[in-house]
Amino acid sequence: MRTTFFLSTIIAMFLISSCDTKVDLIEEGLETSVVFGFMDPTVDTQFVKITKTFVTEGSAVDSAQDPGLSEYNNLAAYVIEYDDDHDSVNSYLLQEKIVTDKDSGAWYYPVQTVYFFTEIVNFDYTYEIGFTGSGNDVISSTDIVGAYKNDITTNLPEVKFVDDFEIGATDYHFKGITVKSSRNTKRYEFTYRYHYKEIYTDGSEKDKVMSFKKAPWVVPGSGSQLDGTDVYDGFAIDGEGFYQAVAGRILAEDNEANVERRVIGKIDFIFEYAGEDFNTFIELSEPSTSLNVEQNPYSNITNAIGVWSSRGITTFLDKSLTFPSVQEMALGQYTGELHFCSDDPGHVGTSWGCN
């Protein structure tokens, strides 16, 4: 089975995970800077992870637990903002931030140092990171991904999986999503999440969530060809497929004897998008499908390894299901036997109301 790397997974890997990056602890006896930074135009604080490889003659496993070997002391790192004429507009000295929720694993945890500056980056500008580390001048620059554009808006009041409900003869809804590319954006990903609550026979309860990820859209072309003129309609929400998937995942848990009822929840839409260098890193990091499993690490940073690029995320959260979609979840052919009910006050007194 082919594994797909998703943008949010990659971001989490380098900001809060137990593995900073996959590099050899000893590479020809050289200490090398490691940089991962993704400028995000949808937030007002930009984070960068800067560490270094190290040489050790002792146990690599034991040494990996020592942050003093991987982190710099008193590092002076900066980001310079350039306009379209490549004139310097602003410069930002990166500040240190101590993060205390890093996951356990082979590398030191739970405390780590990250770097940040506070600024909403400009879609039309270029951002250059630089510092001197391990005796070398480290530098890289990135354009910023453009604003996200599709035919789903924040005014979407409800999510429709069903056009008309009728037991045994439901008319399911199929929604295609048209995405228009933006400047400097190479990769798009779409995930939607379904929230619900399980209430158990012993009186306890648990919030649950299912995520459904679509195959990514990689925009054709590179460089100046990523001009925001491409259109993609391959992301879609298949109503019948949704109910089939919900039923399949719940039945696979084999926990029906302990569930008294399931309360129907809401839907989140998550659209993520990435610049060209970030996409290249993701593609080269995917597991090899050939007998030649050797992979060369990708880097777009001078005198360091890692990635300096841009990404963004647009979310539409807590969207309710339409009335027929709720009926289908509670009474339909795929999920009707799974104890779903609605706690919406407007559904009190119906056969699918929880009360």
The per-residue pLDDT for 18 is 37
Q: 179-210 pLDDT, tens per residue?
A: 999 999 999 999 999 999 999 999 999 999 99
Which tokens go with 319?
């969207």
204-221 mean pLDDT: 95
65 with 41, same domain? yes
284 with 321, same domain? no
Domain-embedded: residue 323:
yes
Share of the chain above pLDDT 70, in %: 83
Least confident of 24-28, 291-295, 304-308: 24-28
Domain-embedded: residue 217:
yes
Domain-embedded: residue 38:
yes
Q: 263-279 pLDDT, tens per residue?
A: 999 999 999 999 999 99
* Contact indicator for 39, 144 with CB cutoff of 8 Å: yes
Q: What's the whole-model pTM score? A: 0.85
227 with 165, same domain? yes
Q: Distance between CA atoms of 83 and 228, rounded to whole angstroms?
A: 19
Domain-embedded: residue 352:
no
The per-residue pLDDT for 285 is 80
4-29 mean pLDDT: 42
* 293 Cβ contact partners less than 8 Å away, ≥ 6 residues apart: none
Range of the domain at 319: 149-272+315-347
Please give the mean pLDDT across all residues of the chain: 85
How many domains does the chain divide into? 2
135 with 112, same domain? yes
Domain-embedded: residue 297:
yes
Least confident of 44-58, 150-164, 269-283: 150-164
The per-residue pLDDT for 9 is 41
The per-residue pLDDT for 19 is 39
The per-residue pLDDT for 53 is 85
89 with 234, same domain? no
Kindly report the CA angle at 47 between 43 and 50, in degrees rounded to 5?
A: 165
Q: 84-137 pLDDT, tens per residue?
A: 999 999 999 999 999 887 776 666 667 889 999 999 999 999 999 999 998 999
The per-residue pLDDT for 175 is 83
Single out the residue of 272, 284, 187, 174 nearest to residue 230, CA to CA: 187
The per-residue pLDDT for 155 is 61
Q: Distance between CA atoms of 53 and 71, rounded to whole angstroms?
A: 9
* Residue 5 pLDDT level (bands cut at 50, 70, 90): very low
84 with 12, same domain? yes
Domain-embedded: residue 353:
no
112 with 246, same domain? no
324 with 194, same domain? yes
Domain-embedded: residue 243:
yes
The per-residue pLDDT for 290 is 53
119 with 153, same domain? no
216-237 mean pLDDT: 91
Domain-embedded: residue 170:
yes
132 with 165, same domain? no
The per-residue pLDDT for 66 is 77
